[in-house]
């Protein structure tokens, strides 16, 4: 199996696996994406279980504050890692009224320009997010009493993962791949 076939044949949905389809990518990149996909699934399932448990406790007039705080921490992580899952599949939110009117090479240049701007924004989020993580180690979450940086870390990690996928798409544009070749559209 070639490196670019891994995502379709070896690990992202078409072969009956649990993960949704993803465009072809080199083996290492596809595995990176699969790890993020599974992390989102595990975090999401954990959140569902925790919140369901706490709702059941509300029936008997009880509440576990740590459940709410942990679910909030996990929500940050699942949000940013989920953004990386979307970027992997070209499913991130976009406003395309202007760009969709372009065809051929003009569309590719516009897609590349959007990716460059997105990389700049993601790079700044990684940079400033890392700064927030470094300064947040002395602050603790109220109930869990762990550094707030554990929660803050979701932003730079998720934005870095998003940047990997946006960068991969940009590389494919530079190589001359069309939108249809990149996303199957």
Tell me: the pLDDT tens digits for 159-169?
A: 999 999 999 99
Q: Which domain holds residue 83?
A: 3-183
Indicate whether 6 pLDDT > 70. no
Give the residue carrying structure tokens 């083996």. 27
**What is the band of 19 on the pLDDT scale with cuts at 50, 70, 90?**
confident
Indicate whether 81 pLDDT > 60. yes
Give the distance between the most distant pair of CA atoms in the chain: 63
pLDDT at position 178 is 87
- CA torsion angle for 44, 48, 54, 56 (degrees, to 10)? -170
Element (H, E) at 147: none
Cα–Cα distance for residue pair 179/167, rounded to 1 Å: 15
The mean pLDDT value for 129-146 works out to 95
Indicate whether 88 pLDDT > 90. yes
Q: Counting Cβ atoms within 10 Å, is residue 59 exposed (0-12), middle (13-18) or buried (19+)? A: exposed
pLDDT at position 161 is 98
For the chain, how many structural domains are there in total?
Answer: 1
pTM: 0.86
Q: What is the mean pLDDT of the chain?
A: 89
pLDDT at position 11 is 45
């Amino acid at each position: 199996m070639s490196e670019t076939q891994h995502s379709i044949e070896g690990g992202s949905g078409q072969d009956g696996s649990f993960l949704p389809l993803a465009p072809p990518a080199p083996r290492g990149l596809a595995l990176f994406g699969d790890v993020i996909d599974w992390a989102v699934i595990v975090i999401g399932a954990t959140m569902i279980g925790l919140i369901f448990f706490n709702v059941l406790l509300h029936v008997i007039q009880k509440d576990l504050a740590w459940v709410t705080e942990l679910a909030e921490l996990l929500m940050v992580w699942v949000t940013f890692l989920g953004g990386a899952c979307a970027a992997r599949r070209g499913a991130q939110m976009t406003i395309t009224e202007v760009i969709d009117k372009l065809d051929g090479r003009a569309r590719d240049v516009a897609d590349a320009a959007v990716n460059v701007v997105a990389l700049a924004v993601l790079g700044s989020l990684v940079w400033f997010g890392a700064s927030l993580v470094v300064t947040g180690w002395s602050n603790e979450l109220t109930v869990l009493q762990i550094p707030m940086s554990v929660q803050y870390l979701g932003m730079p990690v998720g934005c870095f993962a998003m940047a990997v996928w946006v960068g991969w798409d940009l590389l494919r544009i530079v190589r001359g791949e069309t939108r249809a070749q990149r996303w199957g559209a």
